[in-house]
Chain A
Amino acid sequence: MSKSLTNSIREEARKILQEGKVDFVIGYGQGDNSMRTQPVFIDKVEDIDKLVWPSFGLINLANYLLRYRTTRNTPHKIGIVAKGCDSRSIVALLKENQIDRDRLFIIGVNCPGMLSRQVAREKAGEIVAASSNGDKWSFETTEGTKEISCFDLMPSNCVACRHHAPVISDVVVGDSIKEPDVEDDGYDSIREFENKPAPERYQYLMSEMSACIRCYACRQACPTCNCDECFVDITQPKWVDKGLEPTDLAIWQLIRTYHQAGRCVDCGACEEACPMGVKLLWLTRKMNLVVRERFGFEAGVDPEALPPLATYKKEDPQEFIL
């Protein structure tokens, strides 16, 4: 938990609540322990101290805005804490006319990056308790105590992030962060993976997708997975069977990924929410790379640009159309 970011967020939230600019503020709160984060909805100045800036906060708060989407006609004025990727999701939602800008007050955060529980589990094992001493985390696991540096606990999307600063906001907190060299677009790991032989890639992805239990936490955690009825829940017609057949699981994951084309902001919330630790970002990041290379588009970065699925240009590449 960063003290200074926590304090600045509380200060801004206090102001907008006191001035009556918003009815409540959606932000991060403390969970059961230092590794857990629980979003909070603060509507009273007395509760302001429940707001924190977390260490393990791979939750995209823009997701909660869907409860107040335009079609639901809710009257609320909402304050929201938004790191770089959350702010991009807000832009994506605005472009799709899901939410009203004038009912939002965005407390943007220059985000230094989050740590991931999935990465921690992968590297440390089954974690029973955790504590941090600045640069390092110490995990008590079922196989003994393990120490891991903060840097090694970052998820792939934060390592690759090129948009630490919020792209849209009403006020910004935190020191600005120098974006890495533009030459390096953050997709090297995906290119490396692409270069592996097809059977190896197939085997890896299938083994990841077969671990899925179809709880749909990934979908529920995603702000742009917001269809009134998801294809996977529709029973008439039934697009995909309900069980745990690996092909059905793969269809579920692949179609969810396709539906995110030009909309996924690479916040990593889906992967972090997954109770089975399925590596979903291989799929979404690959798709983001395709969208970027073919259509020169990155979701939620430019509030003016039309998303590729909402527009047509004569020179759009189409060699993949069979």
Chain B
Amino acid sequence: MKKVPVLKTLYDHLSKDRQIVGLTKEDNRYFYRALDSFDQWQSNVLLGNFSPKEVFFPQDEVLFYFKAQKTILPKDEVKPNVLWGVRPCDIAGIGELERMFNQVGEEGYKDPYFMQRFERTLIVGLACSEPWPSCFCTSVEGSPYKSEGADIFIYPTEDGYLIETPSKKGEAAIQGLDVEEVGDVSQLEADRRRAEDKIEKYNFEGIADKLKLMVDSNFWDRVHNPCIGCGTCAFVCPSCHCFDVSDASRGSRGLRSRQWDSCLYEGYTLETSGHNPRPSGRERWRQRLMHKFSYFPQVFGSYQCLGCGRCGRACPVNINIAELAAKAVEWEEASAE
């Protein structure tokens, strides 16, 4: 592995011909935005209010403009980006977005808006030596030291930063960077264990199959009770990808755009007839948990929750999805006995 004494060296190297996007502070809020300088970067904050989802899939995005019968595509974005200092759960979240918006096979859906940003972005990950109490990545196949999905991955150590390049793209990007080659990286294993041990572990054993059996379960009758259906959890989630499409026009000119949506909204499944197949929080929360812990694993082989814990932190009534998922497992185990 390679090593640099200070991170700014890597930052400066990458920023030569790329725009760096990292966590910035706006009033009391943290977002992934273009950085003007290394010092602007909020290195102590693990997770922003929003995840880097908005870098690839902004909350409000123009799909095309129209004028009479003509449609005009929005202007292409310019500089290639570096997504700087992303934590492993958020990197995994980007992977989940990719599964949706860059589907495999010829028939697979490819979202051009997502793709144009995704393809030109270099992902620089950063290990979390001090996880937060709300983190639970280790319960969903993640780890605060997982480098998978990143192009470049940084491990903080006592006297500098170890740099790994899991992808060819990452390897190429650090060509010419002044580094020290390090042979013995056994300390990393101990650091990883130390960080992982700080994280609360939940039992999601066999959850995808268990949830399959729980469609009509009484489990759902109560768990949704505190939820006020505000949709915040989906907005802050790195992997929630539902959107709604709307037009804005004046005369024959206008634009079509899309905005994030949430399955916890009452109107999400409301049909034109007035019928709503998910009439209450019961069905809506069942959908949320099923989607993340059963449907997604069944279809794509991975959880659609990466354990960042943002939703529970942002939720006005502090609904903790990990706790709910673990309770579902317990419930099904108890009713199977």
What bracket does the count of chain B residues touching chain A fall in? 35 or more
B66 within 8 Å of A (CB atoms): no
Interface assignment of A294: CB less than 8 Å from any CB of chain B? no
Pair A126/B45 contact, Cβ less than 8 Å: yes
Cβ contact within 8 Å between A38 and B59 = no
Does B267 contact A241, Cβ atoms closer than 8 Å? no
Instruction: Decide if B49 is an interface residue (CB 8 Å cutoff).
Output: yes
Q: CB within 8 Å of A: which of B93-148?
A: 132-134
Least CB distance from B83 to A in Å reads 20
Give Cα distance in the complex from A220 to B228, angstroms.
Answer: 6
- Name which residue of chain A comes closest to B26, CB basis: A211
| Inter-chain contact B226/A38, CB cutoff 8 Å | yes
Are B133 and A243 in touch, CB under 8 angstroms?
A: no
A217 and B317 CA atoms in complex are apart in Å by 11
Question: Does the CB pair B228–A33 fall under 8 Å?
Answer: no
Residue-wise interface mask of B (309-337) relative to A, using a CB-CB cutoff of 8 A (1 in contact, 0 not): 00010101111100000000000000000
Query: Is A303 an interface position by the 8 A CB rule?
Result: no
Among A86-94, A154-162, A268-276, the stretch in contact with B: A268-276
CB-based contact A275/B228 at 8 Å:
no
Please tell me if the beta carbons of B316 and A221 are within 8 angstroms of each other in the complex.
yes
Cβ contacts under 8 Å, B230 to chain A = 215-217, 220-221, 273
A211-B27 in contact (CB<8A)? yes
Per-residue A-contact encoding for B40-76, CB less than 8 Å = 1, 0 else:
0010110001000000000110000000000000000
A274 and chain B: residue at smallest CB distance:
B316
Q: In the complex, what's the smallest C-beta–C-beta distance from A275 to chain B, in angstroms?
A: 5
**Would you call A290 an interface residue if the criterion is a C-beta within 8 Å of the partner chain's C-beta atoms?**
no
Task: Give which listed residue, B42, B59, B232, B316, contacts A272 with CB less than 8 A.
Answer: B316
CA distance A63 to B248 in the complex (A): 33
**A39 with B28: in contact, given A33-B133, A143-B44, A243-B60 (CB under 8 Å)?**
no
Bits for B205-241, please: 1 = Cβ < 8 Å to A, else 0.
0000000000000000010011011111001100000
Query: Contact: A37 with B318, CB < 8 Å?
Result: yes
CB distance from B263 to the nearest CB of A (A): 13
Residues in chain A near residue B232, CB distance under 8 A: 215, 217, 275
Please report the C-alpha to C-alpha distance between residue A125 and residue B30 in the assembled complex, in whole angstroms. 11
B246 near A: Cβ within 8 Å?
yes
CB distance from B46 to the nearest CB of A (A): 8
Chain B: which residue is nearest A58 at the CB level?
Answer: B316
| Closest partner residue, chain B, to A41 (CB atom) | B225
Instruction: Please name the residue on chain B nearest to A125 by beta carbon.
Output: B28
